[in-house]
Amino acid sequence: MLRSVAALVLPATSPFEFATLCEVFGVDRTTEGVPPIDLRVCGPVAGEPLRTTVGASLVPDHGLEGLRGVDLVAVSATRDREFAPEVLDALRVAAADGATLLSVCSGSFVLGAAGLLDGRRCTTHWMNVDELRERHPLAIIDPDVLYVDDGDIITSAGTAAGIDACLHLVRRELGSAAVNTIARRMVVPPQRDGGQRQYVEQPIPVCSADGLAPVLDWALEHLDEEHTVSGLARRARMSDRSFARRFVAETGTTPHRWLTLQRVLLAQRLLEDTTLGVDDVAARSGFGTGALLRHHFRKVVGVSPVDYRRTFRGVPA
């Protein structure tokens, strides 16, 4: 059961992620049938202002003692990476007392510093994955998903994924009716599968102007055409072997995989910005058939083209 929540805020906290915790757990919706949840905002010292990332300050009503005895300790995002020993001790005590721990975005670094992610499945914002892995090598980090539910520890990726993780926890503890009510008030989907990949547009690698860059630029303008390694190598005035070797060296992937990724990215934009059917999107992006588009799209993005469009455009399937 979810009856009490302690939202832990620290210096350099992010107001949006903190507001997410307040919106999901702190708004009284008992008149709509949602069980009451006692939200207490906790900081290192009660009443002591904490700077945020946007030039404003937060003043927590509770100190670290507020973490004791709650059902959930929710750690908001922070840009800091070094944390006071008493903060980490309070988290360890809360975990030992049986509280569920939830982190939003970079709040995972706080849990990691407390040693609570060692040997546990977790995630964080895709931009912070390498740093989290370097700082906490014993953590089992999944860089692609929106959130990870590892029982008594739930971690989420950036911003909107924090909403998904919070609503997932409400569903787990209070049921579908409660989470549907909260989501309807927030005007967000009541559930996005945590296994969905983080929607990250991967930039085109920087390639040398005397070799691959013109070829890649040309390929991007002609993604709807069929391409072979031999054809691209001729355009680059290289042998097939030299072209393939240099392509991997400069982009970190093979020509086939790069083309597939760029076609998926184009398909994403078409699904977001047009009303084209799946077969037409497949033709425009170079997959040829809707079946081939669905195969590669799900493999790269983690959801079907129709589900992606429903989430990001709202066009009826």
CA dihedral 222, 225, 229, 233 (to 10 degrees): -40
Of 6-10, 211-215, 240-244, the least confident: 211-215
Calpha distance 119→128 (Å, rounded): 19
Q: What is the CATH number of domain 212-312?
A: 1.10.10.60
pLDDT(263) > 70? yes
User: Tens of pLDDT along 60-98?
Assistant: 999 999 999 999 999 999 999 999 999 999 999 999 999
Q: What pLDDT is stored for residue 240 in this prediction?
A: 92
Residues 6+ apart with CB under 8 A from 11: 50, 51, 78, 80
Q: What pLDDT is stored for residue 250 in this prediction?
A: 81
Q: What pLDDT is stored for residue 196 in this prediction?
A: 56
pLDDT(295) > 90? yes
Q: What pLDDT is stored for residue 103 in this prediction?
A: 97
Q: What is the mean pLDDT of residues 140-148?
A: 90
Residues 6+ apart with CB under 8 A from 117: 108, 111, 136, 138, 139, 153, 155
Q: What is the mean pLDDT of residues 209-234?
A: 87
More confident residue, 171 or 279: 279
**Location of each CATH 3.40.50.880 domain in the chain:** 4-186
Q: What pLDDT is stored for residue 177 in this prediction?
A: 82
More confident residue, 74 or 161: 74
Q: What pLDDT is stored for residue 199 in this prediction?
A: 53
Q: What pLDDT is stored for residue 8 in this prediction?
A: 98
Q: What pLDDT is stored for residue 261 in this prediction?
A: 87
Structure-block tokens of residue 75 = 């750690």
Q: What pLDDT is stored for residue 34 in this prediction?
A: 94
Residues 6+ apart with CB under 8 A from 210: none
Q: What pLDDT is stored for residue 226 in this prediction?
A: 92
User: Tens of pLDDT along 178-207?
Assistant: 888 898 888 776 666 555 555 544 444 555
pLDDT(317) > 50? no
With 0-12 / 13-18 / 19 or more C-beta atoms within 10 angstroms meaning exposed / middle / buried, residue 212 is buried
Q: In DSSP terms, which residues pair with 5 in a beta bridge? A: 39, 72
Q: What is the mean pLDDT of the chain?
A: 89
Of 100-104, 122-126, 261-265, 280-284, the least confident: 261-265
Q: What pLDDT is stored for residue 190 in this prediction?
A: 66
Q: What is the CATH number of domain 4-186?
A: 3.40.50.880
pLDDT(143) > 70? yes
Q: What pLDDT is stored for residue 82 in this prediction?
A: 95
Q: In DSSP terms, which residues pair with 158 in a beta bridge? A: none
pLDDT band at 150; cut points 50, 70, 90 = very high
